[in-house]
Chains A and B, each alone.
Chain A
Amino acid sequence: MSALLPYPLLRALRHLRITTKSAAWGVDQGERQSVRTGSSIEFKDYREYEPGDDFRSIDWNLYHRLDRLFVKVFTEERNRTLTIVLDLSGSMYLGDPAKADYCKQVAAALGFIGLWGGDAVRIAELGPPLKWKTPLLRGRDRIHTLFRTLHQAEPGGMTDLVGPLQTLAAVDKSSKQRSGELTILISDLLDENWERALETVGKTRSDRVVVHVLATDDWMPAGMGSFQLVDQESGSTLDVTLDEETLRIFHDGAQQWLSEVKSACARLGIGYFWVDTADPVETLLLQTMRERGLLH
């Protein structure tokens, strides 16, 4: 179905839903909430029961008639809007796998979950300026469009977090929809204005999630010797001599920065997920995000 996500993962993702209540994404692990959003819902379809489904949605009448378990699928009265903002700057080239590929996988998975669950999904790319890669996609039949769009997206250009996010905040402000919106920023945040960017995200009225994607080399580089470090985006250089002590100093600094990012997100009410591209994307989606309540 897609080169971005393997089929077994897609099968697993079909049973997940996105929780859009901000309280569900508290930074504290283990806090889960299974309440569906929306006060009035419309019946949309049936589907076979799968382990983990809410018992309350089982249609017991059908069970008595067909001797099989079906659950009712409802449509919210007002569709949720899932805005996925991707950072596909030049720095996302790097990593193993590349951060850009990892980001696209996460975006595809979250978009798939949203579309499969009946949410409206749109993809934007950090510019400058903010580039809308797709319009609001609705329905499972738009999953292909989503995947194709993500597949064709190529990283490049300079990172500019603040400007595009301010544009996004302005769009959010002008939106009539007042609830049920979710903005997911997927980026490595390697920008000196990362704090301002997060503050901009924090000003949106929607629920906010940041998926912080870093390559291992970004926060825990290996290899010793004398190097001329070249910025992938700007081409600026920095001469360093790496030895064990130097690497330890850098690692400590990177850890401190990650802590600051995490603290800023908590302060701004932003759900925060930090992931290394060396970790399988399945772990992030099926374990971490479920444990943290973004998915259920």
Chain B
Amino acid sequence: MIITRWIWIALGLLSCVAVILLHRQRALRRTRRVSSLFLWQLVYARLHAARRRRRLITNLILFAQLLSLLILSLALAGPHRLNPRPVVSLGIIVDTSQSMALTDPGTSRLEATVEALKEFLREGQATRYTLWTTTPPHLRLDTDSKDQLLAALDTLSSPQGKSDWDEVLRALPSRLSHDLSFHLILAGDGATDLAQADALAALSQLGNVHLMQVGTSIENMGITQMQVRPVGADPWAHQVLVEVSNFTDSPTDVALLITEQVPLIDLGLLSEPIVVVEQSLRVAPQETEVFVFEWTVTEGAVLRAALDRHDAFPFDDVVHVVARQPRPTRVLVIGEDNHFLMSALDVFDSLEVIYGDLGTWSSRGPFDLAIFNEVPVPPDFAGTAVHFAPAVATSDASARPANSIAWWQQEHPLFRFVDWNTVDVSSRSTLESDPAQQVLIQGVLGPLMVLDETETHRILRIGFSLNQSDLPYRIAFPIFLGNVLDWANPARASMTAPPDGLLSRDESNLSQRWLQSLEPLGARLLEPEATLQYLNGSPSLAGDGGQPPSRVQRPVAQPQLWQWAALATVLLILLEGFLYLGPRRSEARR
């Protein structure tokens, strides 16, 4: 119980004292002379019995008055009840993109975020904690222990890469507990305009969403976009677009230097940088300049764009593009041979398909994807896999109708360009799904396809055999497999773009060379207006509902007790009136 206005309690206690004094005053006896106490003593026994009852009634009235005053005072003091046990599910998404490595005065933004979260978590308890990061692997922790959460915050890896907020927000609902009040904290430097994300609107329907932003505004000038696309008939000819943005408040002159390093095959080294283009740009404040030029690439060459400017955010001052032969996607098929599956996999280029067993997974790995066709996935499997359930026996199936498709998640990347409405499933089996798994296709009898994602494995479980549906005959089948391959090897998509196998992103050694592909959307949030100073105040889970500062915050309804207190007071006053008036009424009636 929390009391917010103690002055009312004090006034109520004073009123109680006044009422007691009044009752004492009323109880003072006046002297009355009588001829003799003889008659009074004669009826004393009966008087005494009445007096005891009368005293009880008088005390009841006093008690009722005191209780009324106390309840009214309590009601006016504005009490509200805190749940004795936490029923809150707390989700935390930490921005671990490269921008969080920026060092503000004293500490990096990630460190500042972790400290802010620890301060927020210092008091109070939640029933369930989930920790997400915007860079893979997204789900870092799902636990009921705050200590484990604090430990996991300390072990967050160094910021790198680009945030994939959409992927995080898409996976988040699978980790919701519907019986708990859900609170989600988006912690980062605000280098993502979440207000424009559709997923945020969906999340706000699930619970309370809070933004926790750290970071200081900086005078930044950087390359916000660098795109390379083939042009013309020559497959090696490309057009390069470099976008330079000025986030300062004054016009800035900057020199854009583009160099190329050619691989020396024999030596295994890169040549000295060769200047491709040197261009001076004058960028107006808060404006963007685009510079486009053509470039004929050499396999293995590194194209580097750099600004001759060093500011507090140096990561967007240099951008690399590497041209190299892409690595094929490696797929291991385990289980029954399936003609349709084999035929579909043959369609894809840059795909290395191997048929084997679990021993092959370890002996000839690594593989990007394992397809378990009608054989179970080992419980300790680590990696990415697709599992087709075995066919159900006919005798069992006759007892139930087919588990036809009821609905499916049309927005999921695995179903891009796939229309499941045209697919018939004759299987009558269903999948077991726990709340942590995301249902992608729901049949009339139960889940047909679920996505099981943990820190160690990603398994797409399909509840029917290919032989028990007409999926292989549909155009959706190869498209679906393509989506699965993209899901297993996200870099595959860029590799398949013409000229085949020419361009790729080298993410093997980001400390040396990496492709900075800052979206304008993200960079814009480094503006002084968008990048908040440090948190206003110290948020906390406890106290006043434990609400952190929030831009998107739904008011938390707190149970109000004063209505019940007022009702109790009215009843007590009625009781008092009855006690006072009841005997007189009966006397008059008599």
Which residues of A pack against B, CB within 8 Å?
Answer: 91-92, 94-95, 99, 159, 188, 190-192, 215, 217-219, 221, 223, 225-234, 236, 238-241, 243-246, 249-250, 252-254, 257
Contacts and interface: CB of A to CB of B under 8 A. Distances in A.
A208 B102 CA distance: 125
Most chain A CB atoms below 10 A, which of B28, B47, B583: B47
Given A228-B29, A240-B47, A159 B54 contact: no
Contacts of A238: 37, 40-41, 44
28 contacts: A91-B36, A99-B35, A188-B35, A188-B36, A217-B34, A218-B36, A218-B39, A219-B39, A225-B30, A226-B26, A226-B28, A227-B31, A227-B32, A229-B32, A229-B33, A229-B34, A230-B32, A231-B34, A231-B37, A238-B40, A238-B41, A245-B50, A246-B47, A249-B46, A249-B50, A252-B43, A253-B46, A254-B39
Nearest to B26: A226
A249 B40 CA distance: 10
B584 interface: yes
A223 B31 CA distance: 12
B31 A191 contact: no
B54 A246 contact: yes
B34 A230 contact: yes
A244 B587 contact: yes
Contact of B30 (A228, A234, A246): A228
A241 to B, nearest CB: 6
B115 to A, nearest CB: 70
Contacts of B267: none
A246 B40 CA distance: 11
Given A244-B584, A245-B50, A253-B43, A192 B35 contact: no
Given A238-B40, A240-B47, A245-B583, A226 B34 contact: no
Nearest to A191: B38
B159 to A, nearest CB: 83
Nearest to A214: B35
Contacts of A254: 39, 43
B35 A241 contact: no
A91 B30 contact: no
B35 A253 contact: no
B42 interface: yes
A229 B36 CA distance: 9
Contact of A257 (B31, B35, B39, B55): B39
B27 interface: yes
B310 interface: no
Contacts of A225: 30
Given A192-B38, A232-B34, A253-B42, 16 more contacts: A95-B35, A218-B35, A223-B32, A226-B27, A226-B29, A227-B29, A227-B30, A228-B31, A229-B33, A230-B31, A239-B29, A240-B47, A241-B51, A243-B54, A246-B50, A250-B47
A275 to B, nearest CB: 15
Contact of B37 (A92, A215, A236): A236
Most chain B CB atoms below 10 A, which of A91, A217, A253: A253
A246 B50 CA distance: 7
Given A228-B29, A240-B51, A245 B587 contact: yes
A239 B55 CA distance: 13
A229 B35 contact: no
B51 to A, nearest CB: 6
Contacts of B39: 190, 218-219, 250, 253-254, 257
B22 to A, nearest CB: 14
Nearest to B46: A249
A215 B43 contact: no
A144 to B, nearest CB: 31
A215 B584 contact: no
Given A249-B46, A257-B42, A190 B30 contact: no
Contacts of B42: 253, 257
Pairs of residues from A and B, 3 with the lowest C-beta to C-beta distance, nearest first: A253-B43, A190-B36, A91-B35
A250 B39 CA distance: 8
B579 to A, nearest CB: 13
A254 B39 CA distance: 7
A229 B37 contact: yes
A94 B35 contact: yes
Interface string B7-38: 00000000000000000001111111111111
B35 A226 contact: no
Contacts of B33: 94, 229-230, 232
Contacts of B37: 229, 231, 234, 236, 238
Contacts of A226: 26-30
A192 B36 CA distance: 10
B310 to A, nearest CB: 95
A250 B55 CA distance: 18
Contacts of A188: 35-36
B31 A190 contact: no
Contacts of B34: 94, 217-218, 221, 229-232
A262 B302 CA distance: 135
Given A99-B35, A244-B583, A249 B30 contact: no
A238 B36 CA distance: 11
A209 B536 CA distance: 103
Most chain A CB atoms below 10 A, which of B31, B34, B54: B34
Interface in B567-590: 583-584, 587
Contacts of A236: 37
Nearest to B36: A190
A276 to B, nearest CB: 13
A217 B34 CA distance: 8
A159 B583 CA distance: 38
Nearest to B51: A241
Nearest to A233: B36
Contact of A249 (B29, B47, B55): B47
A245 B34 CA distance: 19
Nearest to B58: A241
Most chain B CB atoms below 10 A, which of A188, A219, A229, A257: A229
B36 A240 contact: no
A87 to B, nearest CB: 11
B26 to A, nearest CB: 7
B584 to A, nearest CB: 7
A200 to B, nearest CB: 18
Contacts of A246: 47, 50-51, 54
Contact of A232 (B36, B43, B54): B36
A254 B34 CA distance: 14
A232 B38 CA distance: 11
